[in-house]
C-alpha cells in the first residue's frame, strides 16, 4: 500500500499513469447516486436555510457562516442545503473532505465495533492507550507516513499539530545545547521556567514566511502572517518572517526572474537564521501557501530551503495540513520536491480527518515523559477514520485520479483563461493535481455568484479563487466545473 500511496519508482509511476490515463476517460463514476449536475430550486439562502440560520444565531455566532448544509442529503461531490438545493462542492469543508459526502466505505467503518469502542470509550492514549493503538497506527497513519518517517505524534487540529511540532523543535534545540538527552536541567532552568523567564523559557524562535498560514492558537498564530484579522489583539512571540517567492505567471515566460526571486528569498532566510536575535530552532513552510493566496514556489526553492536549514542546523517543518493526502496529485505535496534528505517533521490534518506530526529522528521524542502530552493526544476514532480513508484512496487509486483529473482541468482552465484573460489571471497549480488557483479582480463577486449556478467554491488571500475539490472529483465533474465557471463569467 505504501508504494501505491507514494508511487516512488519512476516505472511504477509511468505505468500507473498510462493505465490511469486510459481509465480517466472511461472511469466509472465513484458515486453512481450523484446527480448529473447541480440542482437549484430556490435562491440561496432559501427560506428553510434563512429560518435555521436565524435560530442558530440565537446561540452561536453565525457571522462566518457560508452555507448551512444538510449532510444526510449531501452525496459525493455535492453538498445539499435545507431547501433542496444541491451544489457541486469544490471547497469541501475548507479542503478537508477527502472521499466524498456519505462515502459508503466510511459509513461501514463508522459502524464497526472498533469505531464504536473508540467513540464511547475515548481513551487518554498517553496514559491509557487501548491494546490495539499500535495496530491502528501501523495499519493507518503510519502506512501513509512520508518517506524517512516512522513516528507520529497525534493531535486534533492543524494548529495543534503545528504547535506540538514547534514544541518538539524547541525541546530538541535545548537538549542539543545542554549536551544531549541525558543532561539534566539546571536548578536555574527549572526555577526560571516557572516565571516564564530565561533560561528555562528560552528566547528561541520559529521562522515562517510572509503570507503563511499555520493556525490560530498562540504559537501557531505567531507563525501565521496571512491577514491581520487573525492576529489583532493577541500577544505574539518575537519570531521572524522571511519573504516567500512572489512568482510571475506564466512560469515559462518568467523563468529567469522567478529563479532570481527564489534565490533572493533563500538568501534572506539564511541571513535571518544567522542574525535574528532569538535563535531560530525551526523553519516552517507550506508546500503551497494556501490561506495566504495559493502562492507556489518551485521544487528547487524547497530543495534550497532544505539545504539552508541543514547547513545551519535548523529543523525544517513542512506544514501539509492543507496540501497533504493526495490533493496535489502526490500523497504529500513535498513528494514533488525530490529532496535528498526528508524534512524533520511533517504536520497534517484536514483530509486526514485527524492531525499530528510525523518524524523519523528518535531524538525528536523529548527526553522525558509529559513534555509532549495532553489528555486526548488526538482521537483513536479519528485515526480509524483516516485508516478507512486510506483504504478508499488505495481501492480507487484516488491520488492518481487527482493527478490526472487535475491535468485535464488545468488544460481546460488554460483555454478559459485565453478566452477570459481579465477573469482568470495568474493561473497556477500546473502538475499539482487539482490544487489549482487563479486571481480574479472580482473574486468576492465571483464566489457569491457561484452559488446561484450551483457551485460552492472558495477564495484565498486577497484575490485568489482556489479549487479544493475532493479526491473523488472526476473528469465529468471537471467538465461541469468549467461550464459553471464560464456561466458565472457571463452572468
Ligand atoms: C497550512 C495550514 N496549516 C494550519 C492550519 C490550521 O488548521 P486548523 O484550522 O485545523 O487549526 C490550516 C488551516 O487552514 C492550514 O491551511
> What span, in angstroms and rounded, lies between the C-alpha atoms of 175 and 184?
9
For 409-451, what is each residue's pLDDT tens digit? 999 999 999 999 999 999 999 999 999 999 999 999 999 999 9
Domains with residue ranges and CATH for the chain: 110-395 (3.40.640.10), 401-465+475-490 (3.90.1150.10)
pLDDT of residue 15: 43
Q: What is the mean pLDDT of residues 115-131?
A: 97
For 249-302, what is each residue's pLDDT tens digit? 999 999 999 999 999 999 999 999 999 999 999 999 999 999 999 999 999 999
Q: Is 242 helix (H, G, I), strand (E, B) or coil?
A: strand
Q: What is the mean pLDDT of residues 171-190?
A: 96
pLDDT of residue 27: 76
DSSP letters spanning 356-377: EEEE--GGGS-SSTTSS--SSS
C-alpha distances in Å from residue 305, one per residue of 61, 162, 272, 333, 432: 41, 19, 13, 15, 20
pLDDT of residue 8: 36
pLDDT of residue 283: 99
> What span, in angstroms and rounded, lies between the C-alpha atoms of 84 and 100?
19
From ligand 1's centre to the CA of 91, what distance in Å?
A: 14
275 catalytic per annotation: no
- Point out the catalytic residue in the list 319, 335, 344, 379: 319
From ligand 1's centre to the CA of 324, what distance in Å?
A: 11
Q: What is the mean pLDDT of residues 25-49?
A: 93
In the block, residue with C-alpha cell 515562517 = 208
Mutate to test the pocket of ligand 1, among 64, 285, 349 (most ligand atoms within 8 A of CB): 349
Q: Read off the pLDDT band of 21 (50, 70, 90).
A: low
Ligand 1 atom nearest residue 160's Cα: 11
pLDDT of residue 422: 97
292 phi and psi, to 5 degrees? -80, 5
Average pLDDT score, the chain = 95
For 199-257, what is each residue's pLDDT tens digit? 999 999 999 999 999 999 999 999 999 999 999 999 999 999 999 999 999 999 999 99
- In the predicted model, is pLDDT for residue 64 greater than 90? yes
Q: What is the mean pLDDT of residues 169-186?
A: 96
133-145 burial, b for 16+ CB within 10 Å, e for fewer? beebbebbbbbbb
pLDDT of residue 46: 98
Amino acid at each position: 500500500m505504501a508504494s501505491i500511496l507514494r508511487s516512488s519508482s519512476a516505472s511504477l509511476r509511468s505505468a500507473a499513469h498510462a493505465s490511469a490515463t486510459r481509465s480517466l476517460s472511461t472511469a466509472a463514476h465513484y458515486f453512481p447516486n450523484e446527480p448529473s449536475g447541480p440542482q437549484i430550486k430556490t435562491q440561496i439562502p432559501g427560506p428553510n436555510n434563512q429560518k435555521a440560520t436565524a435560530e442558530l444565531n440565537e446561540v452561536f455566532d453565525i457571522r462566518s457562516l457560508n452555507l448551512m448544509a444538510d449532510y444526510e442529503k449531501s452525496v459525493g461531490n455535492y453538498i445539499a442545503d435545507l431547501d433542496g438545493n444541491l451544489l457541486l462542492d469544490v471547497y469541501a469543508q475548507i479542503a478537508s473532505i477527502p472521499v466524498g459526502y456519505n462515502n459508503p466505505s466510511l459509513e461501514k467503518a463508522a459502524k464497526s465495533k472498533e469505531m464504536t469502542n473508540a467513540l464511547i470509550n475515548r481513551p487518554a492514549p498517553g496514559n491509557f492507550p487501548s491494546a490495539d493503538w499500535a495496530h491502528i497506527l501501523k495499519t493507518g497513519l503510519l502506512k501513509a507516513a512520508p518517506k524517512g518517517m516512522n513516528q507520529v505524534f497525534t493531535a486534533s487540529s492543524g494548529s495543534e499539530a503545528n504547535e506540538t511540532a514547534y514544541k518538539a523543535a524547541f525541546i530538541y534545540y535545548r537538549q542539543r545545547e545542554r549536551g544531549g538527552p541525558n543532561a539534566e536541567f539546571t536548578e536555574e532552568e527549572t526555577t526560571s521556567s516557572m516565571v516564564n523567564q530565561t533560561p528555562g523559557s528560552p528566547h528561541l524562535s520559529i521562522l515562517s514566511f510572509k503570507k503563511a498560514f499555520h493556525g490560530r492558537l498562540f504559537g501557531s498564530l505567531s507563525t501565521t502572517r496571512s491577514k491581520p484579522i487573525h492576529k489583532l489583539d493577541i500577544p505574539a512571540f518575537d519570531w521572524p518572517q522571511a519573504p516567500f517567492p512572489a512568482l510571475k505567471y506564466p512560469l515559462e515566460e518568467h523563468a529567469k526572474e522567478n529563479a532570481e526571486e527564489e534565490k533572493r528569498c533563500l538568501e534572506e532566510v539564511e541571513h535571518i537564521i544567522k542574525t535574528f536575535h532569538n535563535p531560530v530552532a525551526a523553519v516552517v513552510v507550506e508546500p503551497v501557501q494556501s490561506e495566504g493566496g495559493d502562492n507556489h514556489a518551485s521544487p528547487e526553492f524547497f530543495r534550497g530551503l532544505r539545504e539552508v536549514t541543514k547547513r545551519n542546523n535548523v529543523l525544517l517543518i513542512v506544514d501539509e495540513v492543507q496540501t497533504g493526502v493526495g490533493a496535489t496529485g502526490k500523497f504529500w505535496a513535498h513528494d514533488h520536491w525530490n529532496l535528498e534528505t526528508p524534512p524533520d517533521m511533517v504536520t497534517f490534518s484536514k483530509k486526514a480527518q485527524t492531525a499530528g506530526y510525523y518524524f523519523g529522528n528518535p531524538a525528536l521524542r523529548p527526553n522525558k515523559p509529559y513534555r509532549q502530552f495532553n489528555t486526548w493526544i488526538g482521537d483513536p476514532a479519528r485515526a480509524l477514520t483516516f485508516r478507512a480513508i486510506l483504504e478508499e484512496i488505495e481501492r480507487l487509486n484516488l491520488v492518481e485520479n487527482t493527478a490526472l483529473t487535475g491535468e485535464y482541468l488545468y488544460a481546460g482552465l488554460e483555454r478559459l483563461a485565453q478566452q477570459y484573460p481579465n477573469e482568470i489571471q495568474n493561473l497556477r497549480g500546473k502538475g499539482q493535481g487539482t490544487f489549482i488557483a487563479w486571481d480574479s479582480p472580482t473574486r468576492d463577486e465571483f464566489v457569491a455568484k457561484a452559488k446561484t449556478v450551483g457551485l460552492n467554491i472558495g477564495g484565498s488571500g486577497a484575490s485568489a479563487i482556489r479549487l479544493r475539490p475532493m479526491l473523488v472529483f472526476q473528469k465529468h465533474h471537471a467538465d461541469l466545473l468549467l461550464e459553471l465557471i464560464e456561466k458565472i463569467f457571463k452572468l
